[in-house]
Structure 1
Amino acid sequence: MLRFLRSPLLASIALSTLVPVAPVYAQTAPRPVQTAEDPWLYKGSDLVHDEAWKFGRLSNGLRYAVRKNGVPPGQVSVRVRIDAGSLMEQESERGFAHLLEHLSFRGSTFVPDGESKRIWQRLGVTFGSDSNASTTFTQTVYKLDLPTATPAGIDESFKILAGMMAAPAITQASLDAERPVVLAEAREQPGAQERMQDAMLGLMFAGQPLANRKPIGTTAALTGATPESVLAFHNRWYRPDRAVVIAIGDVDPATLEAMVQKHFGTWQGKGAAPKSPDFGKPVAEGNPVAASIVEPAVPPLAMMTIVRPWTVFSDTVIFNQKRMIDLVAIRIINRRLETRARSGGSFVGAGADLSDVGRSANITTVNVMPVGADWETALRDVRGVIADAQNAAPTQAEIDRELAEIRSSMQQRISTAPVESGMKLADDLVEAVDINETVTTPQASLDIFETAVKARMFTPATVQAAAKRVFEGTAVRALVNTHTPDPQLVTKVTAALASDAVGTVGKRKALGNVSFAQFPKLGAPGKVVSRTPVLPELEIEKVVFANGVNLLMRKDSSEVGKVYVNVRFGGGLNALPAQPSPGWAGEMALLASGIGKFGQEELDALIGNRQMGFDFDIAADAFRLGGQTNKADLPDQLRLFAAKLTAPAWDPNPITRAKTAVLSGYAGLDSSPDAVLGRDLEKLLHSGDPRWGIPERETIEATTPASFRKLWEPLLASGPIEVEVFGDMDSDATVQAVAATFGAMKPRAASTAPVPPITFPAHVDKPVVRTHSGKPDQAAAVIAWPTGAGSAGITESRKLEVLAAIFRDRMIDQLRSRAGVSYSPNVASQWPLGLSAGGKLIALGMVAPDKTDFFFTLAREIAADLVAKPVDADELNRALAPIKQTLLRQSSGNMFWMRLVEGGSYDPARISSVDTLARDVALTTPVEVQALAQKYLRPDRDWSMVVLPRPDAKAGG
């Protein structure tokens, strides 16, 4: 199926109205439905085959697919999918599929325990990102992205993966080592969110196995696991006839095919092949229709689901076309819901989605976040919007607006297909296999869509019928979360579902023709003062305009059809006051506040069928507007950004909506150690400076549309502007487009306000303590050392990344793999270029409350050892190789170079340091790593923190 169309998108544009004509549901593609086994993916499908993939099947039943792909250059991506997930487990085996995933990574008959990680590190693989695995309800997938794949490296990697599948080392020693890691992973799940998920699954899939078969399993089953019982699960489900190997990369596909045959061809299943369990079908009778929970840590929420039997049995053209009609209906409903939410309705946000889940059910889900606690009014109003869509056909203009956005997305996918990464293509194929779908070419996807449009399948009548169909099913169920107990809540939810939904929307607002011609005028194009190459070998140029605007640009067509635009203006965090302010709401509300006479509705209509982005964030030393576009839309992308700075609108609704949304989830900010760290850590590490971290509730409540505008209006109007345009564009045309937009603006005054100082907290003898209201078995520990900041220390900052990688690897080995104390310890180096201070090397881990001292002891022991002696050559290489390979892969994209030089027109050191990047990293020596440890990992300067459960925390959180 055309998976990227599943989730409804809210932004789109109105196009010309088509005359409604009765639909013709006809099979329009000439390709017959495939009945043969090979290529095996397309059995039962008439979709156009993606001929770039070569499909095959070994004599033992293993299926495979291989493909040539050079993005990123030199890399090979391998996925091994086993058709076994948590739904294949018996009651005594709950969690075994996931546990086996962990054990398989430790070692096999081919590789000693823990050695596969080290082998792959030497090949440049980053543990946890380039090598990973995941377990779902229906599958277990092993992932390897092998950078700079040499013949020897490919051969060794396939050998390791084949051993992991056929003969993992399931011993008492490996089980005793890995079981605590899995239990730690389960322990680290946020309690409130976990209970919310349990309630949703239990209601949505009531009467089906998926209702209580989470992949993480149960503590009882995991602690009861023995090598014999886990091996029995492995032998039952890990069989070549249940396996698919996908290999794609920058090598001859014949080489990849030979590797599959060589290493997986001798694998044989043990015992009789099992029959896949019955996942059941939704049944209304005897199952609940409503449920409620009381979770103050989760925003108030009403969720309605309509469940139907699983539907994806054959991925055909007509199946996709009919599903497209359903999705258009949902998109129109979502757009109407978003309009209501933006205008200050009874709900902060609401949206519907259509999905097939776990080969168990086809589900329409409606999520509603009410304003305050009044879920009944919010749910009633949302059901009213849905009823309106069912009772009255949409206009053809509404339909055409959605079709225009879908077409634009598909066309963009075609234009960028040559630079689609192998990782993405491999993951797409895994997903297709899991849910009985296929893959086809981007052009074939567009052809299916256009054939449906030509056959006039998208009419007011058919979309209205779809709006009815997607909200009908076997059962309608609803779950409500509140912050205060109500004994009658389930009764109220049941009554709400039983009540008639009345369409209450009334006459809909028609936007009419919206165009850039209606934007505020910018003035005459600016004059170019200078245009000079700053990095000739990379073809990066700097252009200075008479009004002081600087442009950094790079014409590079390696990423076909992609142009990245980044506009830096003002002072970023340096320009915000070091006191409570409405600065927190900028990223949520500034863009939605509008431009000129255009609000968010008009802006959506303006850019919906164009390849344009509209993002805003706050960097250390600049505010940033960003978006990905293409050559044709670049002038208007620049016009959009320039107009936001020159003619901002101040719609009050986005500020009110942002406040409501943040406050509704504020209680959740102390619901787990992780949540507390997200709220407080950065603020604490900046000595309480309110520019960092999440603001106090009082600050949010005190923010008004007037105070928001008072802060942000002068920030938008002042400070230097640097525009970066990198990608598949024409350089001369880009200069002209910038001249006509940012070059046409009036000169901007630089801020004269002093930059607030930044300080790292003083050393503490005992950790700073924060508490959480979540599970009593959860805690967090943090230790940090101050380092540096600014572009003068770029070389040192890069070598600190190497030190952090070594530190991190030791923490993972000792805290996770050996002690099983934490599932996700991490160490990172942060060196802000745009600030005068604030750099740090930080280590953190989620641990049990009685293990925080162990964490600090271990972290300080590692730090002391790094100070005392140089690392050995192999350890350094295992840290350096993944960093070097990551840089090599990233350097094939324009975004990498743009981020390296951004801010460089005002800080030339950032540009000059580009030439030293490779040697700064690659030539790092053990002596340099030790010297950095001695300089920064000083015990008299470290700062530590713990997040502990409050004494009143209850079991289960």
Structure 2
Amino acid sequence: MNKILATGLCLALLASGANAQQPAKTAPKKTTAPAKTLSAKAVAAGIPAELKQPIPFDPDVKVGKLPNGLTYYIRKNAEPKNRAELRLAVNAGSILETDDQQGLAHFMEHMAFNGTKNFPKNELVSFLQSSGIRFGADLNASTGFDETVYQLPVPTDSARLFERAFQILEDWAHNVTMDPTEIDKERGIILEEARSGRGAGQRMREKYYPLILNNARYTYRLPIGKDDIIKTFKPEALQRFYKDWYRPDLMAVVAVGDFDVAQVEGMIREKFGRIPAVNNPKPRLKYPIPPHKDTKIAIVTDPEQPNTMVQIMYKRPEIKEKTLYDVREAIKRVLFNSMIGNRINELTQQSDPPFLGGYSNYGGFLGDQDAFSSYVVAKDGNVNRAVTAILDENARVDRFGFTETELERAKKQYQKYVDRAYRERDKTRSTSYVSEYVENFLHGDIPVSISFYNDFTKKYLNGITVGDVNNLAKQFITTENRVVVIMAPEKDKAKLPTEKEILALIDNAGKNLTAYVDKTLDKPLLSTLPVGNPVTSEKEIKDINVTEWTLRNGVKVVLKPTDFKNDQIIFSANSPGGTSIYNDKDFESARFASPLTQMSGIGEYSQIQLGKYLTGKTVSVSPYIGETTEGFSGSTTPDDLETALQLVYAYFTAPRKDPDVIRGFLSNQKSALQNQQATPTPQKVFQDTVQSLLGAYHYRRLPMTPDRLEKVDVDRAGAIYKDRFADASDFTFFFVGNFKEKDMKPLIEKYLGGLPVTNRKENYRDLGIRIPAGKIEKTVVKGLEPKSTVQLVFSGDFVWNTDNTTQVDALAEVLEIKLIETLREEESGVYGVSVNGAYSKIPAQRYTLRIGFGCAPENVDKLIARTLAEIDKLKQNGAESKDIDKFKAETRRETELQLKQNGFWLGYLSNQYFNNDAPDEILHEAEFLKQVTPESTKQAANLYFGKNYIKLLLVPERKP
């Protein structure tokens, strides 16, 4: 089942899964896959025969099954070029563990990286790192309740490496060696992973899980397992899980990328065909979540829970999409979610919002169930008001339905969404396809081609009526299988409603309601169009295909046309100044000037009305005021570029003040800050301490508090915003994406050329904020769980040039490689460790190297000593050549991908111009990498791991 989960309890359920190695980035879901629907209706009378047809499987993927039962999916896709995404999906997870195996599905996944037939011990990770594949970020795996999925992105321009990648997949499938010594070493790593997840959320989850899951097996099979079992299990228990469940009939190999399909199929048949089929396999059982007639209510509190959250779930059987009727029903549900989401969002833009945040949404839940969920974060702990507000909106939809205008906007927006996916069909990344095929194997979700889905949407979307969508509320909201969970700070326990009061609150919601009024504004976005200015000078940087324009009003424009995406233009702008030019008295007003203005709308349009006006357009424009700059970030499409530029012009010339929205925003901010202050989490206290100390306790680096928020002067904030955007003559705009300069020019001249200018001369101000020098130690004692956090910070002055930035990057990477080997693999003392190198030119040339990890309190001193010992080795000998080669390989492979990404180029060009560095510097990366040697890393280590050393610790209040 494709779990489409929102935040709140649904997210908490998924978070109980486990990732081996470092947490992987979530793969984006392909935009064209239809959502879940109520498929039981597909056989109902009156459905047109054409909609009773089965959903057509995407014809561009080759699906096969080997004689031993293993399934494979293969698709050629050249985005990105010379890359492939490989997956090994195993239809087995923690739900299949026996009592003595709790946590071993996840442990098994870890062991796949710790020795196989063809890659003993840690050779697998080392081999892939030397090929440019990052451990954790690229090479990864995850274990859930019902499945285990291994991911391996790999280059295809090396035949040997590509073949070895399939050998790795085969080894994971049936050749993991499970050396007892490696098992014992891995116990500590997994215990550290479990430790990292401990806290208020985990403690409360243990209380409400049995209730909301009605004591289903899922309650007692969290993928992370049980510590006592992880510490003491016999290797035979792990081997038994591997033998029982890692078998070809429960596996799929998925390969999508820039390769020859026939060649890949041959490799799969050769390697995976030799895995023997299992005779008399154990049945792969599914475990239902038992239904219940009553309403289950859980009220849980914790001393480290900072706010009060409520979720009401209406569980129902999982929806399987099988027919075209189901696809049409799915669209109805998407429209429903969109419209109710917009209504609830409007509630937060009142002068006194009823809650800090909330949503109502129908989606996947867990196992064999979906759920309609309403979720709110109570304002000032007022559960009654928050719950009443969210349920009243649900009831308003149930009683009065949506309006025709709401539905038309939702259709328009969804059609635009599908249109964009169709336009990008030849630029869809392989990760999207891989995710779909894994879901098909594990949960039966049928992948469809975007061409089919685009045609289907055009044919059936307009036929969906308000009545069709309004009927869904009655299906979703029932009294059976209803669950309510309240999570609150322990200090507020006495103020919480009782179970009886909660039931009454829910059952009595929706009284004295009136129908929703859809307020829109039908006026031009700009009351008067600008009188522009022409381009007066032009410069080409041919080796990176960049053009610079200067307009008569002084605005500078940097353009890089690309073909990386068919329907994307992204842009940014910056100007020197920012909040730095205002004194501390104005700082709070200055830092809030941009968000207060943006949430007010522009011209005659409120933010809500503006959102409605922009329906059907792909436009995002956001002004910002940072510490040293002000400017914009934005994205759009070639069709909507003019609208985007109109918005930029309006934010310059027609900012708006909406007193009600501003009052509501500040009220919510104050309530949230009061919650944090009253019940600060250990991590929040630690983060605030780190930020304050590293900022030398400067006023502008201290944490935000309710008292500081009171210093925001709304009128002053508005004046500061207008001041920052009063003069466009020192702004530089950057555009990257699918455009032609000849088409851009008249629009740029009209809207950016029409921006106001005063030709004032200004710059940012160096506030003199520096990380303190010398040796400093700071320990924060906070937290109930036996876990600690360590941050080691080295800093100092820096000579800004590319040679030096490359050496800092290399130093951070080679040290991280070494610390993973020592702190994780040898000491078994951490789950993950990070080393980050950063450097800046503005406002001052500085560098920072930060080392971070979490561990058991009793291991803090030992692991810090081991870390400093590795730094000393670098100072004495420099990095090992093999680690330098890994850094270079990873950097080259990463750059190959980045050079084909609009987002990279936008950020890169913006930084290069702001720092006054050569725009084509990226093309010379190979020359700078050559300068990284054992000797250079030795010199860098002695230079950058110097006397300015800060040790920051978070330790628990009570000893384990």
Superposed pair shares fold, TM > 0.5: yes
> Helix, strand or coil: the match of 2:620?
coil
Give the aligned residue type for 1:725.
F
1:833-912 mapped onto 2 (5 Å cutoff): 833-905=841-913, 907-912=915-920
Tell me the equivalent position of 2:634: 627
Deviation at 1:709, TM superposition (A): 3.1
Structure 1, unaligned stretches of length 5 or more? 9-22, 34-45
Q: 1:754-903 to 2 correspondence within 5 Å?
A: 754-764=765-775, 767-775=777-785, 777-788=786-797, 792-903=800-911
Deviations 1:468-489 (A, max 9, x none): 1122363111111223112874
| Distance of aligned partners of 1:76 and 1:662 in 2 relative to their CA distance in 1, 3 Å threshold | farther
Q: Report the AA paired with residue 342 of structure 1.
A: Q
Letter in 2 for 1:862: E
Q: Give the whole-Å Cα distance in 2 for the aligned partners of 1:442 and 1:130.
A: 27
Residue 604 of structure 1 aligns to a residue whose secondary structure is helix
Give the CA deviation at 1:267.
Answer: 1.4
Describe the SS at the equivalent of 1:427.
Answer: helix
Match of 2:24 in 1: none
- Indicate yes or no: 2:570 matched with 1:564: yes
Question: 1:126 offset after TM fit, Å?
Answer: 0.6
CA 363–186 in structure 1, closer or farther in 2 if over 3 Å, else same = same
Distance 2:417 2:77 in 1: 22
Q: 1:711-755, CA deviations, whole angstroms, 9 ceiling, x for partnerless residues?
A: 444334357311111110121222222221122012143436733
Change (3 A) 1:230 1:2: closer
Indicate yes or no: 2:554 matched with 1:545.
Answer: no
2:737 equivalent in structure 1: 727
Tell me, what secondary structure is at the counterpart of 2:121? coil
Q: CA contact under 8 A between 1:135 and 1:141: conserved in structure 2?
A: yes
Structure 1 partner of 2:648: 641
1:42 aligned residue:
none
Q: Deviations over 1:551-576 (max 9, x none)?
A: 00011123222111112234346456
SS at match of 1:841: strand
Q: Deviations over 1:769-799 (max 9, x none)?
A: 2232342x11111111115568x42331123
| Mapped contact 2:297–2:499 kept (Cα < 8 A) | no
Q: 1:490 to 1:432 in 2, by over 3 A?
A: farther
2:115 is equivalent to residue 107 of structure 1: yes
- Tell whether 2:292 aligns with 1:284: yes
Matched, 1:695 2:704: yes
Q: Does 1:422 align with 2:433?
A: no
User: Which of 346, 367, 374 is equivalent to 1:339?
Assistant: 346
Letter in 2 for 1:848: A
1:566-581 matches, within 5 Å, as 566-572=572-578, 574-575=580-581, 581=588
Contact 2:76 2:261 in 1 (8 A): yes
Residue identity in the other structure for 2:654: A
Query: Residues 495 and 512 (structure 1 numbering): CA distance in 2 closer, same or farther, change over 3 Å?
Result: closer
Question: 2:398 aligned with 1:383, yes or no?
Answer: no
Give 1:838 deviation, angstroms: 4.3
**Which of 111, 114, 117 lines up with 2:125 in the alignment?**
117
- Select 1:323's aligned residue among 327, 330, 336: 330
Alignment match, 2:723: 714
SS of alignment partner, residue 253 of structure 2: strand
Structure 1 residue 877, shift from structure 2 partner: 0.5
Matches within 5 A, 1:51-70: 51-70=59-78
Greater Cα offset, 254-263 or 819-828: 254-263
Match of 2:601 in 1: 594
CA 1:466–1:774 in structure 2 vs 1: closer, same or farther (change >3 Å)? same
Q: Distance in 1 between matches of 2:307 and 2:738?
A: 43
Q: Deviations over 1:212-245 (max 9, x none)?
A: 3321111122223221001111111111100011
How far apart are the structure 2 equivalents of 1:387 and 1:681? 46
1:268-417 counterparts in 2 under 5 A? 268-270=276-278, 272-285=280-293, 288-294=296-302, 296-312=304-320, 314-343=321-350, 344-417=352-425
Over residues 15-67 of structure 1, what are the superposed CA-to-partner deviations in whole Å (9 max), with x where a residue is unaligned?
Answer: xxxxxxxx99966685985xxxxxxxxxxxx2233222111111110001011
Q: Which residue of 1 aligns with 2:146?
A: 138
Aligned pairs, number: 918
The 1:88–1:544 alpha-carbon spacing in structure 2 relative to 1, beyond 3 Å, is: same
- CA separation of 1:693/1:615 partners in 2, compared to 1, >3 Å: closer, same or farther? farther
For residues 504 and 432 of structure 1, the distance between their equivalents in structure 2, rounded to whole angstroms, comes to 46
Superposition deviation, residue 121 in structure 1: 0.8
CA distance in structure 2 between the partners assigned to 1:255 and 1:897 by the alignment: 34
In terms of mean alpha carbon deviation, does 411-420 or 492-501 score higher? Answer: 492-501
Aligned to 1:460: 466
Aligned partner of residue 158 in structure 1, secondary structure: helix
The Cα RMSD (Å) is 2.9
TM-score, with structure 2 as normaliser: 0.90
- AA of the residue aligned to 1:136: G
1:751 matches 2:762 = yes
1:684 maps onto 2:693 in alignment: yes
Secondary structure at the aligned position of 2:340 is classed as helix
Equivalent residue for 1:607?
614
| Deviation digits for residues 141-165 of structure 1 (CA, Å, limit 9, x no counterpart) | 0001113541100111111221122
Match of 2:535 among 520, 528, 551: 528
Rounded to whole Å, the distance in 1 between the matches of 2:519 and 2:537 is 43
Q: Distance in 2 between matches of 1:295 and 1:811?
A: 34
- Distance in 1, Cα, partners of 2:619 & 2:162: 39
Looking at structure 1, the residues matched to 562 and 174 of structure 2 have their Cα atoms a distance apart, in angstroms, of: 45
Identity of aligned residues (%): 19
What is the alpha-carbon distance in structure 2 between the residues aligned to residue 101 and residue 850 of structure 1? 27
Query: Take 1:619 and 1:67, find their aligned partners in 2: how far apart are those partners?
Result: 45
- Letter of the 2:788 counterpart: A
Matching residue of 1:434: 442
Describe the SS at the equivalent of 1:477. strand
Q: Does 1:945 align with 2:952?
A: yes
Alignment of 1:518 with 2:525, yes or no, is yes
Give me the whole-angstrom Cα distance separating, in 1, the residues matched to 2:535 and 2:4. Answer: 42
User: Structure 1's 141 and 298: CA in aligned 2 closer, same or farther, altered over 3 A?
Assistant: farther
Whether contact under 8 Å (2:295, 2:480) holds in the other structure is no
Q: The residue matched to 2:318 in structure 1 has which SS?
A: coil
Counterpart residue identity of residue 569, structure 1: S
3-state SS, counterpart of residue 553 of structure 2 = coil
| Alpha-carbon shift at residue 299 of structure 1 (Å) | 2.2
Deviates more, 1:556-565 or 1:648-657: 648-657
Most deviating of 916-925 and 419-428: 916-925
**Structure 2: distance between partners of 1:654 and 1:849:** 44
Greater Cα shift, 118-127 or 158-167: 158-167
Match of 1:40 in 2: none
- Offset of 1:302 from its aligned partner? 1.2
Question: What secondary structure is seen at the aligned counterpart in 2 of 1:418?
Answer: coil
Distance 2:400 2:52 in 1: 38
- CA distance in 2 between counterparts of 1:672 and 1:837 reads 34
Question: Which secondary structure does the structure 1 equivalent of 2:519 belong to?
Answer: coil
In the superposition, the TM-score normalised over structure 1's length comes to 0.90
| Residues 763 and 290 of structure 1, relative CA distance in 2, 3 Å threshold | same
Pick closer, same or farther for the CA change 1:912–1:290 going to 2, 3 Å: closer
